[in-house]
Each structure stands twice: as structure tokens, then as C-alpha cells.
Amino acid sequence: MFRIFESIGRYTLLMQKVFSRPEKMRIYYTRIMYEMEALGLNSIGLTAIISIFIGAVVTLQMAITLESPFIPQYMIGYATREVMILEFSSTVVALILAGKVGSNIASEIGTMRITEQIDALEIMGINSASYLILPKIVSTVFFFPFLAIFSMLIGIAGGYAMASITGIMNPTEYIDGLKYCFYIDEIWYALVKMAFFAFIITSISAFFGYYAKGNSLEVGKASTQAVVVSSIAIMICNLILTQLLRT
């Protein structure tokens, strides 16, 4: 229990260091652009593949489950849209990104720690926490919501493709379902959640990497811990945000 509080304290101190005034904004801008490509753009492929298949499978499952003369077919499109927008494109995609981006960040920063690259930055008078972590946080908080939108679109398209290709339902009814009871607030809710999750993934993974010590085994351990702790934090945050934003 003491270790948990100690870790929370160290995490808070690290974040204080991360959000202190940057040395030179222009350098940070360049780094943010670099991280946006490394952490955001490079995750588009994975997000697309997973979203299209989940969208298709959700449509298939809904079509099988809701097969009843009392339930209109457009409800399948409606249910698929709700699943994709409300939970999959933000929460599930965030969990997937915690695995991909989180482990990447923790191992990158952890390796920099054990090979003394972080010490070298400190010796130069550079705030290493801010220089290394802030651009990652800014780029993911900005870019991940776009990934969420992309995931929604691809997932819904996957569902449509499933309906069209297999003939399990009428594609026109699917489109009708997508339009049924649509509120733009749902999109905002998903985007706000994703921005929070982006912060959680990046800051927690950076924390475990930044305080890694020892050898490559420890970096591997830090990377695993980063993914596990960020996933748990995402689930807790999801519950709190849903309670706050949807009720």
C-alpha cells in the first residue's frame, strides 16, 4: 500500500516537472510534430484493421441476437453505431493503444535512462522530463481523438460491408439505423474520453520508463507495468467519465 502512495507521489512530482515552462517553444513544436507521426500516424493501420473487423463482427452478432419479428432490422445499425461510438472507438481502442504506444514509450524512455541519455540531457541543463515527455503527451492528447473518429467511421463501414456482403440484413436498413436517434453529444463524449485516455497512456508509460533502472530486463518489466497500470487506469477513468458525462 505504501508503495502505491509513493508511486502516486513520484508520478505527481514528475508531472510537475513535465509541465514546467519549456526551454524553447520552437524546439518543442518540432518534437510534437515528430511524436505525432511516431505515436499517432503510425497507429492508424492497427486502428483501422481492428475497427473494421470489430464493426463487422458487432453487426453480425447484433443480427443474430436481435433476430425477431418484433425488433425492426434498423436496430442492428443503431446498436452497432452505439457500440462503436460510445465504447469501442474510445475505450477499446485506448486499451489497444496502451499496448502499442504505451510499451513503445516506456521502453524508449527506459532505454534512454539506462544508457545515460537522460543523465546527459540533465547535465546539459535540459529539463529531461519536459523535453522527452511533454511533446508525447501533447501529440497524443491532440491526435488520439482523431484516431477515435477514424475508428468510428471505419467500424461503421465494416458493419455496412458485413451487411452488404453477407446479406444478413438489408444495407438500407443499416443506414437508417445509423441515423436513428443520433445525438452529436455522443461523439463529443467519446472524444473527451479519448483525450483523457491519451493523457493516461502517455504519462503513465513515460513515468515507468523514466524511473526504470538496471538493465534491459528492468526496461522490459517497466514496459509491462506501464501497459498493465495504464489499462487499469483507463477502465477506472472510463467508469468515472461515463458517470460524469452521461448521467
Partner 1 sequence: MIKAENIVKSFDGRTVLKNISVQFEAGQTNLIIGRSGSGKTVLLKCLVGLHEVDEGAIYYDDVCFSTLDFRRRKAIRRDVGMIFQGGALLDASTVEENVKLPLDLFTDQSEEEKMERVNYCLKRVNLDHAHHLYPSELSGGMVKRAAIARAIVMNPRYLFCDEPNSGLDPQTSIVIDNLIQDITKEYNITTIINTHDMNSVMEIGEKVVFIYEGNKWWEGSHDDILQADNKELNDFVFASAMAKRARGVF
Provide the minimum distance between the beta carbon of 129 and partner 1 in the complex, in angstroms, as a whole number. Answer: 12
The correct pick among 12, 116, 235, 236 for binding partner 1 (CB under 8 A) is: 116
Q: Does 111 bind partner 1 (CB under 8 A)?
A: yes
Please say which residue, 34 or 188, places its beta carbon nearer to partner 1. 34
Report CA-CA distances (Å) from 239 to 26, 159, 232. Answer: 38, 27, 11
Q: How far apart are CA 36 and CA 44, in angstroms?
A: 11
CB of 230 to partner 1, least distance (A): 22
Query: SS in 3 state form for 60-109?
Result: HHHHHHCCCCCCCCHHHHHHHHHHHHHHHHHHHHHHHHHHHHHHHHHHHH
Q: Which is nearer to partner 1, 115 or 164 (CB)?
A: 115
Q: What's the one-letter identity of residue 214?
A: G
**With binding defined as CB under 8 A, does residue 126 bind partner 1?**
yes
45 binds partner 1 (CB under 8 A): no
Closer to partner 1 by CB, 111 or 170: give it. 111
Judged by CB under 8 A, the residue of 119, 165, 172, 246 near partner 1 is 119
By CB under 8 A, tell whether 117 contacts partner 1: yes
3-state SS class at 33: helix
* Nearest approach, Cβ of residue 60 and partner 1 (Å): 43
Q: Which is nearer to partner 1, 20 or 65 (CB)?
A: 20
In sequence order, the 6+-apart residues with CB closer than 8 A to the CB of 84 are: 51, 54, 55, 58, 151, 152, 155, 156, 159
CB 208 within 8 A of CB 226: yes
Check: CB of residue 17 under 8 Å from CB of residue 129: yes
Near partner 1 by CB under 8 A: residue from 2, 5, 69, 124: 124
Q: Which window, 3-11, 115-123, 191-199, 210-218, contacts partner 1 (CB under 8 A)?
A: 115-123
Q: Min. distance of Cβ 120 from partner 1 in angstroms?
A: 4
Q: Is 214 left (phi over 0), alpha (psi -120 to 50) or beta?
A: left
Which of these ranges, 95-103, 110-118, 185-193, 195-203, lies near partner 1 under the rule CB under 8 A? 110-118
Q: Are 61 and 163 in contact (CB under 8 A)?
A: no
C-alpha to C-alpha distance for 202 and 143, rounded to whole angstroms: 12
Of residues 122, 173, 186, 218, which one binds partner 1 by CB under 8 A?
122
Applying CB under 8 A, the span of 19-27, 51-59, 181-189, 231-239 interacting with partner 1 comes to 19-27
Would you count residue 4 as binding partner 1 (CB under 8 A)?
A: no
Q: In whole angstroms, what is the distance from residue 176 CA to residue 238 CA?
A: 29
Q: Which residues form the interface with partner 1 (CB under 8 A)?
A: 23-24, 27, 111-112, 115-117, 119-126
